[in-house]
Amino acid sequence: MASSQSHLDLVQLLIVVVMTMTMLVGGGEALSLDYYAKSCPKAEAAVAAAVKQAMAKDRTVPAGLLRLHFHDCFVRGCDGSVLLDSSGNMSAEKDGPPNASLHAFYVIDNAKAAVEALCPGVVSCADILALAARDAVAMSGGPSWQVPVGRRDGRVSLASETTTALPGPTASFDQLKQAFHGRGMSTKDLVVLSGGHTLGFAHCSSFQNRIQPQGVDPALHPSFAATLRRSCPPNNTARSAGSSLDPTSSAFDNFYYRMLLSGRGLLSSDEALLTHPKTRAQVTLYAASQPAFFRDFVDSMLRMSSLNNVAGEVRANCRRVN
């Protein structure tokens, strides 16, 4: 039985790799593991060094990079459009309401500068962001994986698109499912990638709806709800107030799922995963098995990071088009 299961796991892995390697991006090019093998062989090492340096000074960097990558891919595909600054009358994605708390842009700037010094005009900002997100997970104790590269940077970034493309912290299960299915991703991907909430912090505004004075969300464990209300009282004016997404917010692990099952999931969108039998079963699986979560997280990240539908450019500066 164990031998048959191992064979099945190998077959599934090969299928994922083949799907990823053949995923077409804008302009008809396929992502490839050796895309920069000759043109910029030290690019990945340069990105990893920039991430490591930033993490040594700021433990919130991994959560910031992972969230940047998610928010980039869910609007126009993984094209680096979230990195563009607003200019003139154009309000860019990073200034859209769902992206107000995005950070760690400077890490991508530093990585881009390092890569440009090695091989000018070769490596896209979108690829650098995908690599940095992988490094952020791996350097936080999570899994690592090979990132297929060859993305191009988009030239369009609109704040108005973020409110419809990005599911918010109060999203229902149906809204979350629609957001993922609309990008060719599955309900399983939804549960797996929600596990990225094992890293990071949420401000009071993201979960205030669950601790209203007129009533606390009954799905919250009473002691956890009390803790949240102390951190975020009704008259709170501290912009930095909030809560970690799980107690080990600097470590990539499966604690998020364990907290969720115990009534200590922070966001309504987290709690929504328990409202459907299939997704609740997945949450239960990942709470019990960190290796299962890590394996499936890699698969889902490969699928998400292959979303790209632009025939773009390679920006010299990640904050503006050429």
Sequence-ordered list of residues with C-beta below 8 angstroms from that of 230, at least 6 positions apart, any chain: none
Binding residues for substrate are: 167
Does domain 173-304 match CATH 3.90.180.10? no
Q: Determine the pLDDT at residue 29.
A: 65
Strand 211-212 to 215-216 pairing: antiparallel
The residue extents of the domains of the chain are 42-166, 173-304
Write the secondary structure of 96-140 as one string of H (helix), E (strand) and C (coil): CHHHCCCCCHHHHHHHHHHHHHHCCCCCCHHHHHHHHHHHHHHCC
Residue 37: how many CB atoms within 10 A of its CB?
A: 11
Q: Determine the pLDDT at residue 11.
A: 40
Residue 244 to residue 253: CA distance in whole angstroms: 14
**What's the token pair of residue 53?**
């340096």
Q: Determine the pLDDT at residue 88.
A: 85
Q: Determine the pLDDT at residue 16.
A: 43
Binding residues for Ca(2+) are: 72, 75, 77, 79, 81, 93, 198, 246, 253
Residue 71 annotated in active site: yes
Q: Determine the pLDDT at residue 30.
A: 83
Average pLDDT by stretches of 10, the chain with 322 residues: 45 42 48 95 98 96 97 96 93 95 96 98 98 98 97 95 93 95 95 96 93 92 94 86 90 96 96 96 98 98 87 94 94
Catalytic residue among 69, 71, 103, 276: 71
Residue 309 to residue 311: CA distance in whole angstroms: 7
Query: In a 3-state reduction of DSSP, which class is residue 43?
Result: helix
42-166 topology per CATH? Peroxidase; domain 1 (1.10.520)
